[in-house]
Amino acid sequence: MQMPQLPQPTYYIFKCEQSSPPGMPKPSCVNGETQGMFNYLGMSLMQKGLMGPVQLIRTSCLGRCQQGPVMLVVGQNERFMYSNLTNEKIDRIIDEHIKGGNPVTEYLIPEQFWGEPMAIK
């Protein structure tokens, strides 16, 4: 019996949802000001009819805490880390990158924090 092909999302969005306990000196992506951002991102994707072609994934720390809030956008042969997110930036990323195919370069993490992939030995 042949199994039907399942379509795959065009984009996966990994949104860091790590929060540090109160008093922790290290910053984290989720704090009192940013705790609603994941839901905002999900609602925006839903309202624009993008759930399905885009799969939103809640993750723990992505290792870029000083530049948070961050999210990783993974496409067919591409991956982009967006940093210092706000709801307004998320709207623009959805419209220009996810819908339009053009990454919003000024919101990408600075190059020194996003080098080449580590070699697997």
**CA-wise closest residue to 69 among 28, 111, 40:** 28
Quote the tokens at residue 24: 């922790």
Decide: is 10 part of the binding site for ligand FES (CB under 6 A): no
d(CA 109, CA 16): 14
Q: How far apart (Å, rounded) are the C-alpha atoms in residues 27 and 44?
A: 26
18 part of the interface to ligand FES, by CB under 6 A: yes
Q: Which stretch binds ligand FES (CB under 6 A): 40-48, 59-67, 86-94, 97-105?
A: 59-67
- The structure tokens listed for 113 are 């924090």
Q: Which range, of 2-10, 39-47, 60-68, 96-104, touches ligand FES by CB under 6 A?
A: 60-68
Sketch the per residue contact string, 84 through 113, with ligand FES: x for CB under 6 A, - otherwise: ------------------------------
CB of 40 to ligand FES, least distance (A): 16
Compute the residue count for the chain: 121
Establish whether the linkage from the previous residue to 69 is cis, with ω within 30° of 0.
Answer: yes
Binding site for ligand FES (CB under 6 A): 16, 18, 28-29, 61-65, 68, 70
